[in-house]
Every structure is written in structure tokens, then in C-alpha cells.
Structure 1
Amino acid sequence: MDIKTHIHEAFAALENTTPLIHHITNYVTVNECANVVLAIGASPIMASEISEVAQMVGFAQALVLNIGTANTQSIEAMLEAGRAANAQGIPVVLDPVGVGATTFRRQSVARLLEQIRFSVIRGNMAEMKTLAGLETKSSGVDSLEDESDALSIAQGLAKKLNCVIAITGKEDVVCDGTHAYTLCNGDEALRSVTGTGCMSSSLIGSFLGATNNPLLSAILGISTMSLAGELADKSKGMGTFRISLFDRISKMNASLVLEKARIYLKG
């Protein structure tokens, strides 16, 4: 697929449909995720009560599951929502935040992978190596991994899990098992704002709800965040940068992505 020929269509679909994106997500970044969904032109719903999630996901065009602050109850809600989404053909995104940090996280993600079909899984290098069954280096939820083998990890996981794998880092890699892309935008300042990874997953979910195209959505969700990070005002400190980041996302469009996004087909 020639990604660039579909970028205008993806932004037009967002504008024309305003897809509802259901989240069961990280309470540290829930407000940022809701705002970034609004900024890109979709609509967020953050519902995690297990008695309503199956019904709620039926109203949505995509589901985003994020284990950043998961507990026993929220994992059960994720399973309930994910199964309902699968039954209704609603695409699902997984953000396995800090999956290698504890036994609970590893076991919880194993259950999610066993019971839910995912369209896109996005994480950092340490998280993806954990999913691949490899030894990892991390500090809490932050990766300390060398990223030189990101392409091979992404290719292997995409085939193993039969979904699009997106590994974010200094250079991002997105792979559907057949085609792989590297994305080379971004700025170190993004590390100063809590939740840019979580927000990237929400952006992926937004494009996915509009297009139901996992590969395109992963590329555009990540590129939107990375490009906004490059363009946002970094002259006045972290607070101004955070607000400017949302401003830049709210003004993102196909022409800007086509002009400035560095998206390279690798195979």
C-alpha cells in the first residue's frame, strides 16, 4: 500500500465521521488522551465499569486498551470490552504500558492477547521485547533498550500476533508482517510531557475508528504526535510546550503530514 496516497482520505474520514473512541485507559493520562482525541477530530469516551463496557463499545468505532494503571477490575473490564468489540467487528488498540515490570502486568497482557484480536499494538522497545519473550532493560515504564533491532522485532511480532506492531523510540517502526515503515520525526522535548505514548495510542485509535486501516492508522497516529512535537513551542518551558503540542495536533492536516512527515518504506 502506498501510504501517502491515502493520507488525504484518512483526514477527510476523520472530519466527516467524528468517530467515537472508547478507552479503558491509564488514569494518569486519561485527560490528555481525551483531549488529544478531540484535538485530532474524533470523540472520546472513557468508560471502565464492567457492567456497561460491552454496551458502550457497541456505540464506538474503535477501542483503546491501556494497562498503565491497570488493576484486577480494569483488566476484567478490558477483556469484556475487547470480546464485545471483536464480536461486532470494532477494531482494538493495545498499549501494554510497562508490561515487563511486574508479574501482574505480564500475566494480564497474556490474557488480553489470548482472548482479544488486536488491530494495532503500540509500545516502546522494552515492552515489545517482553511481548516477544526476550530479556529487556527498563526503568518502570520507560525503555532502556538499544533500538537497533526494532525492525526485526516488529516483523516477528506482527506475524506472531497477526496485527500491526508499532514500536516507538528515537525512530519509530510500524509493521503489518508484510510491509514495514520507519518514521523519523519527533523531538526530545516529548519526553518531558507525561503520556505522549498513551496519547499516540489514542491518536492511532482515532484514525482507526475513521478508516479501519490498521497500518495507515498506526503511521498517522505516531507521525501526528512526532510532527507536533517538532513544531510545538519549546522556548518557554514544559508547560507552554504541552499546550502548544495540543495546538499543533488540533491544526494537523494531510498537507502538513505530506510535507513534513518522514515516512520510509523498509520492506
Structure 2
Amino acid sequence: MNQNLDSPIKTIVTALHALREQKPLVVNITNYVVMNNTANALLAMGASPIMAHSREEMAEMMSFAGALVINIGTLDSQWIPRMGFAIEQANINNKLVVLDPVGCGASALRTATSRQIAQAANKLIIRGNASEIIALAGEKGQSKGVEALDSSDAAVGAARYLVKTYQCNVVISGATDFVITPEGQLQLHNGHAMMPYVTGMGCSLSALTGAFAAVGEETGLAATAIFGVAGEIAAEQSKGPGSLQLNIVDVLYQMDEATLIQRLKLS
């Protein structure tokens, strides 16, 4: 392994141990399609998920939660102000917000809401596919609903713009995953081509990004690395997308330091 990569690998392994020890509570305002998937991914990893959508309890929740994950997949006029209030409470309690701008660029509402959330959060990680990142940055990206038609490397410039504009870190998901921070970028080459055929893979990664942020890993690197390795291993054990969805939860539960170091493809 390249000596220059020792530090990122140490960051990932340290974060994994910290998450398993601390079992952080992660508040998710997420979409109806993936609530079960993301909750199971968080539980398997060792975190404690709560799907909280009520304004009445949000101030209390954010006073003791570790992080807030906002996923706009099933956006509507009732959820938008609740998301805004949740971000206010996260800011008050100095908690990090993970934004998953699902379908950003597919409609004016999604794009405008994603930008409002990014602007409002004091501590922020944005995790999206290439088309969503490009659209969020204001460039003309290719998109078809919530699917990415742009390659992840095509979104690096847009991600750097977002890092500078919102003082945040950005994760671009794709065949190659990119983690972009003010200090530079890392590329991760794990995962599997079957993963896009299961709904909620990116949403689960966003939720895990919140879990690792809650224990101090605020770049998105640990979640991206671990989920990519898990997807790769699960695909080897799966006949198709249905079994992949089950197997990835099992692999997350079984993930350990030795497996990570052996399988991780990082540059």
C-alpha cells in the first residue's frame, strides 16, 4: 500500500471502531422508499437510527443526536419547512448535516430545495451521484429522474465549487467514488455494477455518512470506503439485486479491520 495512503486508511479504521463503540444516534429525514433499507444499514454498521419527521420533537432530538441526514427523495411542501427547522436545530447544537440531493436537476423544486439546505447548514457533507452534484453546482448535467447519466469524474469540478461555496465536504458516488474536501481529493474503486439495480444504495451510504460524522469522521471517507467494500463483497455472494440487498446488510454487520485493509482500493 502506498505510504501516502496510510493516513486515510487509519482514519477509516479508527472511525469504524469508534462507531461500533459509541453507537451514535442518527436522525434521518428521509424518503418513504428507503426508510427500511437505511435503518437496517445503520443498525448493521452499529449505529442507532431514528426516522424523525415531526417538527414537534426535532429540537429535542437534535439536542442529543449525533448527526442529521436529510434525503429529499420524496419531497413535498410539508417536508421542506420541517427540513429547514431540523437544520436550524442541528446548527444550534453544532451537529453536522448530511444532504442527499436526490434527483437534484430533475425538477426546479428539487434543485432549489437542495441549494436552500446546503446554504442553511453550518456543518455539511453533500453526498450525491454525479448528475446531482453537477446540477447542485449549477452546471448543466445529464439526468433522468434520480438516475445519474454523468460519470463521477465529470462532477469533480462541480464538487470543488460546492466545497468552496458551502464550506463543506462532498462525496460523489459512481463507478469510482470521489471524496472532495478543502484539502484535496481521494478516489475509491470498490463497489459493484449490480449496486445501481437496488433502490436506496446511495441513500444508505448517505445515512452511514451521518453515522460516521457523528463519531468525528466528517469527510465522508469512512462511510464511502466501507460501503464500497461491502457492496463488492455482497455482490460476490449474490445472484441478483434481490439477494444483494440482503447480503449487503450482512456484510456491513460482519465488516472488520482486516477485511477493509485487504479489499480497499484507494488512490
**What's the TM-score bracket when you normalise by the shorter of the two chains?**
over 0.9
Q: How do residues 27-46 of structure 1 correspond to structure 2 at under 5 angstroms?
A: 27-46=32-51
Supply the distance in 1 between the matched residues of 2:238 and 2:16 (Cα, whole angstroms): 30
Supply the distance in 2 between the matched residues of 1:109 and 1:148 (Cα, whole angstroms): 21
Supply the distance in 2 between the matched residues of 1:68 and 1:118 (Cα, whole angstroms): 21
Give the unaligned 5+ runs of structure 2. 1-5
1:237 aligns with 2:240: yes
1:261 aligns with 2:241: no
Partner residue of 2:15 out of 10, 19, 30: 10
Length, aligned pairs only: 261
Q: What's the counterpart of residue 157 of structure 1?
A: 162
Q: What's the counterpart of residue 221 of structure 2?
A: 219
Supply the distance in 1 between the matched residues of 2:158 and 2:139 (Cα, whole angstroms): 10
* 1:234 Cα deviation after fit: 4.5
Contact 2:32 2:74 (C-alpha < 8 Å) held by counterparts = yes
Q: What's the counterpart of residue 3 of structure 2?
A: none
From the superposition, tell whether residues 55 and 242 of structure 1 become closer, same or farther in structure 2 (CA, over 3 Å). same
Supply the distance in 2 between the matched residues of 1:253 and 1:207 (Cα, whole angstroms): 15
C-alpha RMSD of the superposition = 1.5
Supply the distance in 2 between the matched residues of 1:101 and 1:235 (Cα, whole angstroms): 32
Secondary structure in 1 matching 2:55: coil
Q: How do residues 190-229 of structure 1 correspond to structure 2 at under 5 angstroms?
A: 190-210=195-215, 212-215=216-219, 218-229=220-231
Secondary structure in 2 matching 1:173: strand
Q: Percent identity over the alignment?
A: 36
Q: Which amino acid in 2 is paired with 1:201?
A: S
Q: How do residues 130-169 of structure 1 correspond to structure 2 at under 5 angstroms?
A: 130-169=135-174
Q: What's the counterpart of residue 183 of structure 1?
A: 188
* 1:5 Cα deviation after fit: 2.1
Supply the distance in 1 between the matched residues of 2:157 and 2:110 (Cα, whole angstroms): 24
Q: How do residues 81-160 of structure 1 correspond to structure 2 at under 5 angstroms?
A: 81-160=86-165
Supply the distance in 2 between the matched residues of 1:148 and 1:198 (Cα, whole angstroms): 20
Give the unaligned 5+ runs of structure 1. none
Tell me the TM-score normalised to structure 1 length: 0.93
Supply the distance in 2 between the matched residues of 1:167 and 1:40 (Cα, whole angstroms): 21
From the superposition, tell whether residues 47 and 148 of structure 1 become closer, same or farther in structure 2 (CA, over 3 Å). closer
Contact 1:94 1:118 (C-alpha < 8 Å) held by counterparts = no
Supply the distance in 2 between the matched residues of 1:15 and 1:213 (Cα, whole angstroms): 13
Q: What's the counterpart of residue 61 of structure 2?
A: 56
Contact 1:151 1:180 (C-alpha < 8 Å) held by counterparts = no
Secondary structure in 1 matching 2:64: coil
Q: What's the counterpart of residue 67 of structure 1?
A: 72
Supply the distance in 1 between the matched residues of 2:41 and 2:103 (Cα, whole angstroms): 22
**Deviation digits for residues 88-135 of structure 1, max 9, x if unmatched?**
111110000001111111221222123222421000111111111101
From the superposition, tell whether residues 235 and 10 of structure 1 become closer, same or farther in structure 2 (CA, over 3 Å). closer
Supply the distance in 2 between the matched residues of 1:67 and 1:132 (Cα, whole angstroms): 17
Contact 1:154 1:174 (C-alpha < 8 Å) held by counterparts = no
* 1:235 Cα deviation after fit: 4.3
From the superposition, tell whether residues 17 and 186 of structure 1 become closer, same or farther in structure 2 (CA, over 3 Å). same
